[in-house]
Amino acid sequence: MPPRYLVRGGNPLRGTIRPAGNKNAALPILAATILADGPVDLDNIPRIRDVDTMLALLADLGAEVSWTAANTVRVDTRAVRPKPLDPGLCARIRASILLAGPMLARFGKVTLPPPGGDVIGRRRVDTHFLALEQLGASVSIGERFELVAKGLTGADIFLDEPSVTGTENALMAAVGAEGRTVLRNAAAEPHVQDLARCLVAMGARIDGIGSNIYVIDGGQALGPASYGIGPDHIEIGSFIGLAAVTNGEIAIDPVRPDDLRSTLLAFERLGIRPRITGTRLVVDADQERRIRPDLGGHVPKLEDGPWPAFPADVMSTTIVTATQCAGMLLIFEKMFESRLFFVDKLIGMGAQIVLCDPHRAVISGPSPLRGGVVESPDIRAGMAMLLAALAAEGTSTIHNVGQIERGYEQIDSRLRALGADVQRADD
């Protein structure tokens, strides 16, 4: 039988937890090592399945990969040669598409199958290819994607949407292109900023980091570098919700306060108010957990959007948190049309949720949750089910936990250190 979690809920969690490095920064930065003429040492890399898959893709291309410490990896891509990407590995993660930009910039061609990853709705790749075409690439789409460029040249590019991975691919290709590239309507999430800063550490010239306009002076030779990945603000949001739903007291250290502004604003509307001192965030026990209505007593709405708006990847765990708060909340998930389909599992555990359509749900709380047998449909919904199981009375079984472990490093043992009763069963 595939691995599963056995969870006994109803106990407040207490203690200090260190957030893992940002998965969504680690994956593009690992892809970017293809541009470096020498080894790149990366610290605070999460030991998760998606990272293992990206490292396997790099190794299959000829890179030398070695873990030099628990969360530090050295990647030397000088021996990488152009070849079609392994379709089996690409099917495991959507981030395989991030190899398109650096492979194209270095070798002038790349062949890759359609990427895999979470099934949370349509996740278009048009933005990637439209940007790469404007830099000089030709794109052929069939069973595989074939990209060819005799030489990349800087361009003034307006992305048709602020796609995170589309921005990252365009950034890496623009670094290898001759001349200046202006990238407009770009994504600026913390993980995109981390990629840009790592490229700068490797020798790239990039201005506008943190904004939606990047200016890249390409054609510079990139060399060896060392870089530390920032803490995962998505995981931090999950831990805030975890403390709230179990009525526990959890300290999260370190955090980047500027990465959490929209997340903290959303939790404040639910009556959950963490306090931050320096890089330490604390969620005290006995939070109010009361949803604040809009002016005039209207039902408030929580919606996600591109940075710096509320992150889509925090929505699933916030939904679980809202079920434990007094009041009514309208959730508007604008980014992915299948992300809310996991709420039927919460309803089965006792949550009062009305799924209005693929993008909207109304939550009325608080609702006592009871243990149940559920599964993890994707990374973020899986973590949300883990929160629900820890908040529920009784025992829950969570199947398909490989999805959770794609994005959360050793989450079962880390939660046990906070007092959670979570056991991983492999047979």
pLDDT digits (tens, 9 = 90+) for 373-407: 998 888 899 999 999 999 999 999 999 998 899 88
pLDDT of residue 13: 97
**β-pair type (156-158, 179-184):** parallel
Q: Is the dihedral of CA 407, 279, 209, 152 positive or negative?
A: negative
Same fold, 4-20+231-425 and 23-228: yes
**Structural fold of domain 4-20+231-425:** UDP-n-acetylglucosamine1-carboxyvinyl-transferase; Chain (3.65.10)
- Percent of the chain at pLDDT > 90 equals 85
> Which residues fall within 8 angstroms of residue 98, CB to CB, at 6 or more apart?
27, 28, 31, 165, 168, 169, 172
Tokens representing residue 78 in the block: 């000088």
Buried b (16+ CB within 10 A) or exposed e, 196-220: bbbbbbbbbebebbeebebbbbbbe
Question: Residue 122 above 60 pLDDT?
Answer: no
DSSP character string of 340-397: GGGHHHHHHTT-EEEEEETTEEEEEE----B--EEE-SSHHHHHHHHHHHHHSBSEEE
Q: Which two tokens stand for residue 325?
A: 């708060």
User: Residue 333: which of 121, 119, 160 has the closest Cα?
Assistant: 121
- The residue annotated as part of the active site, out of 118, 194, 232, 412, is 118
Active site annotation includes 118? yes
* 1-19 tens-digit pLDDT: 789 999 999 999 999 999 9
CA distances from 189 to 24, 258, 306, 376 (A): 10, 11, 8, 25
* Arithmetic mean of pLDDT, 65-73: 97
Q: What would the pLDDT profile of 28-68 be if each residue is shown by its tens digit?
A: 999 999 999 999 999 999 999 999 999 999 999 999 999 99
Q: Is the confidence at residue 121, as pLDDT, over 70?
A: no
Is the bond preceding 28 in cis, omega lying within 30 degrees of 0?
no
- With 50 as the cut, is the pLDDT of residue 131 above it? yes
Just give the CATH number of 23-228.
3.65.10.10
Whole-angstrom distance, CA of residue 232 vs CA of residue 220:
30
Place of tokens 């599992």: 345
Residue 253's identity, in one-letter code, is D
Question: pLDDT of 205-243, one tens digit each?
Answer: 999 999 999 999 999 999 999 999 999 999 999 999 999
pLDDT digits (tens, 9 = 90+) for 250-268: 999 999 999 999 999 999 9
Confidence bin at 338 (pLDDT 50/70/90): confident
Q: Locate 159 and state its tokens.
A: 């992305």
Q: How confident is the model at residue 104 (pLDDT cuts 50, 70, 90)?
A: very high
- Residues with Cβ < 8 Å from 242, sequence gap 6 or more? 13, 248, 250, 317, 387, 390, 415
